[in-house]
Amino acid sequence: EPEVTQTPSHQVTQMGQEVILRCVPISNHLYFYWYRQILGQKVEFLVSFYNNEISEKSEIFDDQFSVERPDGSNFTLKIRSTKLEDSAMYFCASRPMNTEAFFGQGTRLTVV
């Protein structure tokens, strides 16, 4: 069964460094998302991406964040100048038209 894959599964980075989280959505899906879940808290929407551009972003998704679809398969989230409070689980999700979103297994980011 097709699945959304994310790498790495764990990432430890020093405060102030840049990280790139990678996702390979399911191949025929049209909509791509990044979500974040701080430990013990709810899943929060960050950004949606459709037709090679950002379609919506939350107030969390400020200039520190950016997304790219550099080729036909990858979808990346870049976090610049990481802060301690960026430590969280980051989930990528994708979906075709009018059905549920499928989530990747997540990248656990720890900023030290």
Partner 1 sequence: GQNIDQPTEMTATEGAIVQINCTYQTSGFNGLFWYQQHAGEAPTFLSYNVLDGLEEKGRFSSFLSRSKGYSYLLLKELQMKDSASYLCALASISTDKLIFGTGTRLQVFP
Q: Using CB under 8 A as the criterion, which residues of the chain lie in contact with partner 1 when the complex forms?
A: 31, 33, 35, 41-45, 48, 50, 55-56, 89, 91, 93, 95, 99-106
Report helix, strand and coil shares of the chain as percent, to nearest 5.
5, 50, 45
Question: Residue 98 Cβ, how far from partner 1 at the closest point, in Å?
Answer: 8
Cβ at position 95, least distance to partner 1 in Å: 7
Q: Is 107 exposed, middle or buried (0-12, 13-18, 19+ CB in 10 A)?
A: buried
Closest CB to partner 1 among 16 and 96?
A: 96
Closest distance to partner 1 from the beta carbon of 84 (Å): 20
In this structure, are residues 38 and 19 in contact, taking their beta carbons and an 8 Å threshold? no
